[in-house]
Structure 1
Amino acid sequence: MKFMGDYPMKGQTEQEMIFSVFHRESCQRGWRLLYILTAYYKCSEALKPYLLKYLHDVCASPGVHFQGIAKACEQNLRKTFQYGGRAEHPNGMELKAMLAGRSSKRQLFLLPGGIERHIKIETCLVALEAIEELCYEIGLHKLEALDEYAICVVTNRGQNICPLKKREYILDVSTEAEHVDSNYSLWFRRVIWTQPLNFDNELRVTMHYNQVFPDYLKGLFNVVPQGKASEQQLQQVSKLAALQHRAKDLIYLPTFHEVQEYIPTQLFGLQRHQQWLNMVTQNMQQVQALTPHQAKAQFLGEVLT
């Protein structure tokens, strides 16, 4: 624009101006700025096909500089049209990283039981894509399974739990959460239970077990009409107690206090303490041969059917 006379030269000679354009660092900074802008703003519908074509041509031309960042700009632009663009301005650390050419970071996600998983978060990665990657980690590949899982942002030491919309940008969420609580966390949980649970993936079984058994102990899976339980129900509760013990990879017989921890409070008072201990001990003989993975799977099968 300076060379064409559309912008003041500001004391530069034409030769100096031409050399500044030839300087590769100048082009690199321009591409990085475009990378940031495409994450936040759409172009016009009239410009869109031409800009995408240009970015695609740079990506597809062998030996051309900046192929990688051109591809990233193209991906950003497509996601901005699809999801609306980032809403939160990048914080100082993210902006500094982008200007230095670093476009991703490792984000920690917590699965039930405190299991840690890290995902590479690109500038425009949305919650749906993070869910897909975490589902892949636990061996789920069917699209219908993805609808049953969610990511939640957790602040105030677990007091505030907010599920993310599938279209929300992970880095927007983390930037906003940092303003509220620097110790925020992102949880991955199952929220709908219509698809059958298969037991072929050990991480998936462990995750679901860690999510289910605390709710079981709160009594959320038990119905006791008029405060009376059938013999069959008492037997099932004692078996589930034995499975919890074996799931910890314990082979010794549980103590009375351990048995009490394995049984929902509203059920524990339905018979004498020694009766519970005797019943759980009998069931331990049947489950001792199981691996912890098998014990967790069997527990889930008993509770969820």
Structure 2
Amino acid sequence: MSSPYAATSPTTTDSIAYASLSTDSHSYTMQEFALCHFRKPQPALWGSMGAPGPTIQSLWPQAPIKESLISLSDEDTNKQAVESFRVLMQFMGDQPKPRGKNDLELLYELLKLCREENLRDEIYCQVIKQVTCHPQPEHCTRGWNLLSLLTGCFSPSATLMPYVIKFLQNSGSSQELARNSQEHLQRTVKYGGRQRLPSLGEIQAFLKGQGMRSLLIHLPGGVDYRTTIQTFTVAAEVVEELCRQMGITDPQEMQEFALFLIKKEGELVRPLLPHEYLNSVVEQDTSLHSRRLIWETPLHFDNPTYITTHYKQVSCHPHPGLHAAYRSLDPGLQLANEPLPGWGTSKPPPSQDMLNYLPKPLRGHVNIPIIKKLIDQELRQLQVYNSQEAQISFIEAVSQLPLFGYTVYVVLRVSQMALPGPSLLGLNHQHLIVMDPCSQKQCCSITLKDLHRLHLLSPLESEGPPGLELNYGSADNPQTIWFELLKAQELMHTIVFLTDRGLPSK
């Protein structure tokens, strides 16, 4: 049987509760919540204090409870509530610890119990009750440590939320852990809380006040950026920090950047969703890389770091097939506008170097003297540029090319299409296209908003590449297409990131 106390999930209104909550000290007190939702007090619960009602501000239970604080009609949930209070008292030092269990294990047991949604409000109330007017400061600090972790992992229900906020606000002026709990709860309301509980080692470091850790972010062009994250830092916060370093203040433009998680030697490559907690995904065999993934906001060259970062991403594009497609449009023009590695700026490069730089299908169809002349002209013009002016010129030139702004993958085979060889798959925030790299002809276009499901396919042949199946179209005209490519899993994760609609994937 369900409980008459309906614990609801946090809604979008919770995120503005901090700003709109009344400052009246008599509003949203835990005593008012207790009067509305707690069971009637029993002598065994309130001991010798003789309170006439469940006044949480003035009572501190000295013995384990025999029933849940909140009126819960489900018997199993009530038993779990009684057990959680017993574990809470053991962790805080108010009751003897069971043999063979330490503080860390008791704390982890409480966090695991909070996975049950119908127990979260109960445990919130239990912890708040124990830290209110606790006579022993050391025991009280243990309770606050738990509350700080609890607020970072789980939100209370919409019913309890304003009371918890008010309690933390009233306690924050004199209690650092209360202020930390406020910050953690704000982040949980905004990002959803940590779906994976912190590890035992992470919890231990948190309890010791060592929750901060250094994190290395690899930027385009081999540049590294080191930052510091905490137990509940999410990907969006680090992306915002990186954007501020580039002088980006527009929230819309910030959303066009992403952190990519790379596991081992590229075994897994995927963009992190903004709400993902970094300590839940970053492990010893992973690295984080940052790059711009969406190119909708007009580029602006008003910050040196912004210019250099974009130049390095564009000039060091990770997909060789993209450069091949660029140059096949007009080899002479593109060579004249693209910096060539290892070449000086005083004279044109040797003919052999230019031939090696060209895509193989074009090497027999270019006029080397003409290309040398174009490069010589370009190099003379570059001599009057400073470094950043040259970088801006290059970015502007490349931005005019057909696949600029796309994440490009080399596709080996496509269902329903007969292409002469590997083709290029371009993906941006609006659609997915397939292009013949030689003719530049667009063979297929799928709008991302029309996607319904993604399915990762096993290799069709032994030791062959995997595939990705896409279901799209309308209910009256459903369509299916699959692509065979080495980076099928990365493509799937990137599509999910760009759509941000939780597409079914497998």
Structure 1 length-normalised TM: 0.77
User: Could you say which residue in structure 1 is the equivalent of 2:349?
Assistant: 255
User: Could you say which residue in structure 2 is the equivalent of 1:109?
Assistant: 217
Per mean C-alpha deviation after superposition, the further-off stretch among 129-138 and 274-283 is 274-283
Aligned length: 277
Identity %: 29
Whether the 8 Å contact between 1:110 and 1:188 is mirrored in structure 2 is yes
How many Å apart are 1:300 and its aligned residue?
A: 0.6
Question: What is the CA–CA distance in structure 1 between the aligned matches of 2:319 and 2:231, rounded to whole Å?
Answer: 41
- Does 2:393 align with 1:298? yes
User: Could you say which residue in structure 2 is the equivalent of 1:6?
Assistant: 63
1:266-281 → structure 2 map (5 Å cutoff): 267-281=362-376
User: Could you say which residue in structure 2 is the equivalent of 1:15?
Assistant: none
Q: 1:157 to 1:217 in 2, by over 3 A?
A: closer
Q: Deviations over 1:133-191 (max 9, x none)?
A: 211111111122123211111113134211112221122121xxx2xxx2311111111
1:135-174 → structure 2 map (5 Å cutoff): 135-174=243-282
How many Å apart are 1:272 and its aligned residue?
A: 4.4
The one of 155, 168, 190 equivalent to 1:55 is 168
User: Could you say which residue in structure 1 is the equivalent of 2:99?
Assistant: none
- Secondary structure in 2 matching 1:46: coil
Question: What is the CA–CA distance in structure 2 between the aligned matches of 1:10 and 1:95, rounded to whole Å?
Answer: 21
Question: What is the CA–CA distance in structure 1 between the aligned matches of 2:191 and 2:377, rounded to whole Å?
Answer: 57
The Cα RMSD (Å) is 3.2
Whether the 8 Å contact between 2:332 and 2:370 is mirrored in structure 1 is no
Q: 1:123 to 1:249 in 2, by over 3 A?
A: farther
User: Could you say which residue in structure 2 is the equivalent of 1:24?
Assistant: 137
Q: 1:267 to 1:57 in 2, by over 3 A?
A: farther
Q: Which has the larger radius of gyration?
A: 2
Question: What is the CA–CA distance in structure 2 between the aligned matches of 1:214 and 1:261, rounded to whole Å?
Answer: 17
- Show structure 1 runs of 5+ residues with no match: 12-20
Q: Deviations over 1:215-239 (max 9, x none)?
A: 49835267689x7x6xxx4542232
Question: What is the CA–CA distance in structure 2 between the aligned matches of 1:282 and 1:217, rounded to whole Å?
Answer: 28
Q: 1:216 to 1:277 in 2, by over 3 A?
A: farther
1:227-246 → structure 2 map (5 Å cutoff): 233-241=330-338, 243-244=339-340
User: Could you say which residue in structure 2 is the equivalent of 1:191?
Assistant: 293
Question: What is the CA–CA distance in structure 2 between the aligned matches of 1:224 and 1:99, rounded to whole Å?
Answer: 54
Question: What is the CA–CA distance in structure 1 between the aligned matches of 2:195 and 2:95, rounded to whole Å?
Answer: 36
User: Could you say which residue in structure 1 is the equivalent of 2:199?
Assistant: 91
User: Could you say which residue in structure 1 is the equivalent of 2:230?
Assistant: 122
Question: What is the CA–CA distance in structure 2 between the aligned matches of 1:145 and 1:160, rounded to whole Å?
Answer: 26
Question: What is the CA–CA distance in structure 1 between the aligned matches of 2:299 and 2:353, rounded to whole Å?
Answer: 28
- Show structure 2 runs of 5+ residues with no match: 1-45, 48-59, 66-93, 97-133, 401-506
User: Could you say which residue in structure 2 is the equivalent of 1:17?
Assistant: none
Structure 2 length-normalised TM: 0.49
Q: 1:267 to 1:291 in 2, by over 3 A?
A: farther
Question: What is the CA–CA distance in structure 2 between the aligned matches of 1:128 and 1:224, rounded to whole Å?
Answer: 32
Q: 1:268 to 1:276 in 2, by over 3 A?
A: farther
Flag the structure with higher strand content.
2
Q: 1:73 to 1:218 in 2, by over 3 A?
A: same
